Amino acid sequence: MPDVTKTDVQTAVATDGGATTPVAAPAAKPEKSRSLWGDAWNDLRHSWIFGVSAVLILLLLTITFFPGLFTDTDPIKGDLAKHFLQKPKLGHVFSADWLGYDQQGRSVYARTIYGTRASVAVGFGTTLAVTVVGGLMGMIAGYFGGIVDSILSRLTDVFFGIPFLLATMVVLTSFPDRTTWVVIGALAAFGWTQIARVMRGAVITTKQADYVHAAKALGASTPRIMFRHILPNTLAPVIVVSTISLGVYISAEATLSFLGLGLNGVSWGNDISDGGNQIRVAQWIMLYPSIMLSITVLAFIMLGEAVRNALDPKLR
């Protein structure tokens, strides 16, 4: 009997009465298809916009939670006799003297570091609040429709027509002690309308899908259909809007603090406002908080743009 040979492509040859019959190699297993989130993550990994924004946001979060790693100077206490409007010493990197001192002898560098905590906390807190409130309002309106949709949509239109910053300023004037939670509540009270509209539109489209009709036919309860079948398939546009809005809320907090209606404490907006009064003699007081604010807002807007490009099939 002749020998059985194997080729480089792994095709076996069987002998049967002197005749040779090629035997095909086993078929390769088909690749597992990725979901929308898998495709989005694959796109994000190869996006330089996402990489840059992720590094910046990681640095900002590190400063927020561990400011002591960057400075051991108290941002509140100052020495007027020693540091009144002292100019920056750029050679003393990461020291209290690095970015100079303000009119009360406080380190601008220390205040810029600790001001990150206030702005980022307000931004994340407001974004979480408006996403939950607006998402629930939009989901209920889009799913039930009819009179429920009409009432909630008209309510959304009323809040949408109120000037966002002006209404927030009016509310904050009623609170002499404006803590982080007070500012978050005031911003969230008038900032949920856009999320509600986006969620409503996504739910109206998704509830027509076959798997939703199948779940209804099988007797699934309304909460199960809404939170197990509809919600996971409507999160993509909400996440995009929320990510971009985060930078907007950080900017809004700085604007309110600049006008004297924001946080009663260390904040970029407060320092920018104080620096405006000394802009002719001490430009550094408002320069460095302004740079940090711009970088922070830009980082979150870039992140939102990268997420939008990854989750929108029309842009991929």
Does the predicted model carry a pTM greater than 0.85? no
Query: Which CATH number fits the domain 36-315, given the four candidates 1.10.10.10, 3.40.50.2300, 1.10.3720.10, 3.40.140.10?
Result: 1.10.3720.10
**% of residues, the chain, pLDDT over 70:** 87
Distance CA 298, CA 115 (A): 17
Taking the C-alpha atoms of residue 271 and residue 254, their distance in angstroms, rounded to an integer, is 9
pLDDT score, position 59: 93
Output the CA–CA distances (angstroms, integers) from residue 294 to 2, 115, 117, 152, 251, in the order listed. 79, 13, 15, 36, 9
Residue 21 has pLDDT above 60, yes or no: no
Average pLDDT, the chain: 83
Give the domain ranges of the chain: 36-315
pLDDT digits (tens, 9 = 90+) for 50-103: 889 999 999 999 999 998 888 888 888 877 878 788 888 877 777 778 888 888
Query: Residues 226-243: what's their mean pLDDT?
Result: 88
* Cβ count within 10 A of residue 178: 20
Q: How many residues does the chain have?
A: 316
Give the confidence band of 147 by pLDDT, cuts at 50, 70, 90.
very high
- Mean pLDDT of all residues in 148-159: 91
Please state the φ and ψ torsions of residue 107, each to the nearest 5 degrees.
-70, 125
